[in-house]
């Protein structure tokens, strides 16, 4: 995938100290973007920063609990003091299935913990970033990118992880709504759905005739994605080239398409 020149841009990556989040931070930094990594673990933040310190962009880390609006707002304030602006927010924090209990056995605490970690984190990070981006747009500098990592479970559901699927579906809906609401400010919103392989889990999508006819021919499905694949998508979505990509972004084998 072509890497775009993001020199002078600044991006926040929540949960950017491992896995897909680290791949996104590394790709952004290597393209010339300054990056602020927000995470709960100071040592992981430090290690993540060290892994991309050799790139052309500056790297900053913040201790941040994305489930707390106060913590996110504090991190945003500190990031703005350091870099002066934030052009992109990549919300990657979250947790997976959290067990394989049937829906009727799911506890209230498990349900709310999943929502707080997966959905509240995106809400808080996006709101703090959008406030800054829209204020900047009103001052004549209209540019902003909001991207969240979602899951294929948000499209076809998942047995015994329904609370996880529900949070990811909510993230997709939030991105689509924000794409409409924030377009006049020059701000786009997308959800990356990482991880593709033809299996029982993706049978529902592969059985969609329109999807197979219109999308599949352009995307080679050969392997699980790597963090660097999603980093390349994040760079694309951060660039001016993605101005009209305001939908879910499906990532397969390093390529991309969007609905």
Sheet with 59-63, side-by-side order of all strands: 59-63, 34-39, 10-14, 88-91, 144-149, 187-193, 248-252, 255-258
SS (H, E, C) 4-71: CCCCCCEEEEECCCCHHHHHHHHHHHHCCCEEEEEECCHHHHHHHHHHHCCCCCCEEEEECCCCCHHH
Which DSSP string corresponds to 190-211? EEEE-----SGGGHHHHT-HHH
Which DSSP string corresponds to 82-113? HHS---EEEE-----------GGG--HHHHHH
Is the backbone of residue 174 left (phi > 0), alpha (psi -120 to 50) or beta?
A: alpha
Element (H, E) at 1: none
Which residues are catalytically annotated? 164
């Amino acid at each position: 995938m072509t890497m775009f020149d993001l020199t002078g841009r600044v991006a926040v990556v929540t949960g950017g100290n491992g896995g897909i989040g680290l791949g996104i931070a590394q790709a952004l930094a290597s393209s010339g973007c300054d990056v602020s990594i927000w995470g709960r673990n100071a040592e992981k933040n430090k290690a993540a920063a060290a892994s991309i310190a050799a790139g052309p962009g500056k790297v900053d880390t913040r201790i941040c609990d994305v489930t707390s609006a106060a913590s996110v707002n504090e991190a945003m304030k500190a990031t703005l003091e350091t870099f002066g602006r934030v052009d992109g927010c990549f919300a990657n924090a979250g947790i997976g299935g959290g067990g394989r209990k049937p829906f009727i056995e799911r506890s209230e605490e498990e349900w709310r913990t999943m929502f707080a970690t997966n959905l509240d984190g995106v809400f808080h990070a996006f709101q703090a970033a959008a406030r800054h981006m829209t204020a900047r747009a009103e001052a004549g500098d209209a540019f902003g990118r909001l991207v969240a990592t979602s899951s294929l479970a948000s499209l076809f559901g998942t047995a015994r992880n329904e609370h996880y699927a529900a949070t990811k579906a909510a993230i997709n809906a939030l991105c689509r709504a924000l794409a409409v609401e924030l377009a006049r400010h020059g701000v786009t919103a997308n959800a990356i759905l990482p991880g593709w392989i033809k299996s029982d889990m993706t049978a529902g999508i592969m059985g969609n005739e329109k999807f197979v006819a219109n999308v599949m021919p352009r995307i080679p499905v050969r392997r699980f994605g790597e963090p660097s694949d999603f980093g390349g998508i994040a760079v694309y979505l951060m660039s001016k080239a993605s101005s009209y990509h305001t939908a879910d972004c499906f990532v397969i084998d390093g390529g991309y398409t969007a609905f």
